[in-house]
Amino acid sequence: MTDDLNLFNPSLQPPFKKIKFEGTQVLSANHFRSGHTLVLQECEFDSITISGFVFVVLENCNGKDLTIHECKQATLKVVSCESIVYDFLENLTIENNIIKKEIKVTNVERSTISLSTMVKCTISRFEKGSVSFRDVKFDELLISHTNTVDAHLEFNDVKILQLLKIFDSVLDSTVFNRFNLENARFSFQRSSIETAKYFSVKWMKSFKVELNAFEDSEDKLSALWDLREAYRQLKVVCIDSHNKLDALNFQKAELRTHYDEVTTRLVTKRQGSISDWLVLFTNRIFSSFGRSWLIPLAWLLIVHFIFFSCYFMNDLGISISLTSGWNSHAIQKAFGYYFNLLSPIHDANIKSISGEDVNFYGTADFFMRISSAYFIYYFVRGTRKYNFSI
């Protein structure tokens, strides 16, 4: 059974046990005779702001909104609430707490956080001190305006369920250890993450970073540049971690974004090189930027069939009739001619079905050789995509 607390009643002094704080309350060190330590045990609250204490301890408490401001050391054990804001703390320890909506960490000197469940976490303007998350599941993790050059930010056994968003931040000394983004979305803008430390990171299944919102062509070009930079940094991170399999996927995404960037610039601003665009376009259409062997193989067979049927079948004495019966010997010979001419170095003189010499040297034969060599190159490149030449 809890008792109601009226802060205007000076007879109530900490420690508080089994107290119910109704409405919005402010527990300031100036309100109490002893402003050194505040202890809350088995208490309930709607909205509390705690400020100015040297030591703050919450145990087995349950409520909605909790803010701890300008306290030297805070310890929370088995606390359940909807949202928590930590601001200007020197030392913070959180163990086995349940946060139902959101946690915000700002200007904390040193912190170790272990949570049973959490919906959303915001780390903003963190530039000094140390914050460590261990064994936590976030629905959303937002890191903004944070610089860890002179600070320490660490994630151990952390899983992001929905969204990781990093913007306007430099995470140079941040540690990501057993960090799981497998089922999450990733948004990245104007930040640096390539010099952070990564151990056993599971990247997104789609290997896609979200494109930032834009209103016009200029904003779209800026958003595409941010996206390409994100893929470049992720590629470098994977290479430095000797994770070259994932690096290949981020390299493909980087090229795809560069293609979108060049296309947008050509269409909207009439700027850029059409030859560079053609290289990127054909690379994308015919080989999925060198990552597929099936696509160039399909194009090889289709384009070669067009050349073969339009220019060479009649000279070889091959015809297709839907009324007469099938001739297995003729079909076998036709396939033999088809695959023989598939080679870019086939002979210019070939005997037809009737035994006559047929000379194929000419414009059509020249372009057929070029197309075959082109698609065979992309086919071989696709089959060698795991040779790690990135």
DSSP summary character for residue 309: I
pLDDT in the model for residue 139: 85
**Positive/negative CA dihedral, 89, 93, 98, 103:** positive
* Average pLDDT of span 328-333: 75
4: pLDDT strictly greater than 50: no
Long-range CB contacts (within 8 A, 24+) of 175-184:
175/199, 176/201, 179/155, 184/160
59, 283, 284, 386 from 252: Cα distances, Å:
50, 11, 10, 13
Radius of gyration of the chain (CA): 33
* Average pLDDT of span 212-226: 85
| Res. 108 pLDDT band, cuts 50 70 90 | low
| Res. 91 pLDDT band, cuts 50 70 90 | low
pLDDT in the model for residue 371: 93
Residue 172 phi/psi, 5-degree rounding, is -65, -40
pLDDT in the model for residue 24: 85
Give the helix, strand, coil percentages of the chain, each rounded to 5. 30, 40, 30
Among 70-79, 87-96, 206-215, 367-376, the minimum mean pLDDT is found in 87-96
Would you tell me how many other CB atoms lie within 10 Å of the CB of residue 151?
Answer: 19
pLDDT in the model for residue 186: 93
pLDDT in the model for residue 252: 92
* Average pLDDT of span 275-279: 90
- pTM for this prediction: 0.71
pLDDT in the model for residue 348: 80
322: pLDDT strictly greater than 80: no
Q: Are strands 16-17 and 120-124 parallel, antiparallel or unpaired?
A: unpaired
**How many angstroms separate the CA atoms of 126 and 33, rounded?**
33
pLDDT in the model for residue 3: 45
pLDDT in the model for residue 233: 93
Per residue in 6-39, pLDDT tens? Answer: 443 545 667 788 888 888 888 888 877 766 788 8
Residue 210 phi/psi, 5-degree rounding, is -70, 140
Q: What tokens does 224 get?
A: 């595409």
Q: What tokens does 361 get?
A: 């040297």
Residue (of 304, 307, 266, 262) closest to 283 by Cα position: 262
| Res. 361 pLDDT band, cuts 50 70 90 | confident
